[in-house]
């Protein structure tokens, strides 16, 4: 049994074959998924999807790329959605310095507001970080995000940078890049994350693992991520699948 902790089945890339994509995931052993909404359109669709599939859960949050479009009423909306029993985390939230769409100070404020909401309602968080590692860690520390816990989603930093994330008790989720031939840092991180903090994901439709790199990713491919990490950690695929599934079920508090 596999648990894809971060997938965007609500993305437009799955409009034509979402149901078939989910069936392929089930056939590959992916029995649990968290579909992540990050703006008005994707959050609304995530909420629809979890009504149709009892094994799919949702996370809702406001993406840093879209921070410029964020309004106070969005925070109220997120708080209301989090009352749904199948909404299991706030996010993805964080900082993205790659795409120049939202000013850094605006991103930081939207990030902080969501962490504060998470603490208010006692909900774990999912972190998006792109080229902003030190600032992300600083905000997490200053806002005492360890009080609710969280996931460094599709972690892309170094093995040195992962240490302060682990110090505040955060989980580390690895995706397709750990399978890339040039994914040396991700492979090193995969070896050192404590067993009880390790998660796997696809981030589909993005970041497809080898040998599908450059093509549309889908949740069935999380099996390739699990196989690679199992090899790196010198354990069986079955052990790695069970370990990461149990970690995810415990983190999201789902059966």
Residue 73: half-sphere exposure toward Cβ, Cα within 13 Å: 2
100 pLDDT exceeds 90?
no
Mean pLDDT, to the nearest integer, of 247-253? Answer: 98
Say if CB 62 and CB 70 are below 8 A apart: yes
The pLDDT score that the predictor gives to residue 186 is 97
Nearest to 217 by CA among 16, 21, 3: 21
pLDDT in tens, 44-90: 999 999 999 999 999 999 999 999 999 999 999 999 999 999 999 99
Q: What is the sign, positive or negative, of the torsion defined by CA atoms of 148, 153, 157, 163?
A: positive
The pLDDT score that the predictor gives to residue 129 is 97
pTM of the complete model = 0.97
255 pLDDT exceeds 90?
no
Percent of the chain whose predicted confidence (pLDDT) is above 70 = 100
The pLDDT score that the predictor gives to residue 160 is 96
- Contacts for 143 with CB less than 8 Å, ≥ 6 apart: 112, 115, 116, 119
pLDDT in tens, 131-188: 999 999 999 999 999 999 999 999 999 999 999 999 999 999 999 999 999 999 999 9
The pLDDT score that the predictor gives to residue 73 is 97
Mean pLDDT, to the nearest integer, of 93-118? Answer: 96
Say if CB 124 and CB 118 are below 8 A apart: yes
The pLDDT score that the predictor gives to residue 11 is 97
C-beta atoms surrounding 165 within 10 Å: 24
What domains appear along the chain, each with residue ranges and CATH number?
Answer: 2-252 (3.20.20.140)
With b for 16 or more beta-carbon neighbours within 10 A and e for fewer, the 80-93 pattern comes to ebbeeebbbbbbbb
């Amino acid at each position: 049994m596999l648990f894809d902790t971060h997938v965007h089945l609500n993305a437009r890339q799955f409009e034509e074959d979402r149901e078939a994509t989910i069936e392929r995931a089930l056939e590959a052993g992916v029995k649990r998924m968290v579909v992540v909404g990050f703006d008005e359109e994707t959050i609304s669709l995530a909420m629809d999807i979890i009504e149709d599939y009892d094994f799919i859960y949702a996370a809702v949050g406001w993406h840093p790329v879209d921070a410029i479009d964020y309004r106070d009423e969005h925070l109220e909306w997120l708080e209301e959605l989090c009352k749904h029993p199948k909404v299991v985390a706030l996010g993805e939230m964080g900082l993205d310095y790659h795409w120049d769409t939202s000013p850094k100070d605006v991103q930081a404020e939207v990030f902080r507001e969501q962490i504060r909401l998470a603490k208010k309602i006692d909900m774990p968080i999912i972190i998006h970080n792109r080229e902003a590692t030190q600032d992300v860690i600083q905000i997490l520390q200053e806002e005492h995000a360890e009080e609710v816990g969280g996931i460094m989603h599709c972690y892309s930093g170094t093995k040195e940078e992962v240490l302060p994330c682990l110090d505040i008790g955060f989980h580390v989720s690895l995706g397709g890049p750990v399978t890339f031939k040039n994914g040396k840092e991700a492979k090193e991180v995969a070896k050192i994350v404590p067993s009880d903090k390790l998660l796997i994901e696809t981030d589909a439709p993005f970041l497809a693992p080898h040998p599908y790199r450059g093509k549309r990713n889908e949740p069935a491919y999380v099996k390739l991520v699990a196989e690679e990490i199992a090899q790196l950690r010198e354990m069986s695929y079955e052990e790695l699948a069970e370990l990461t599934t149990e970690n995810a079920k415990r983190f999201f508090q789902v059966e």
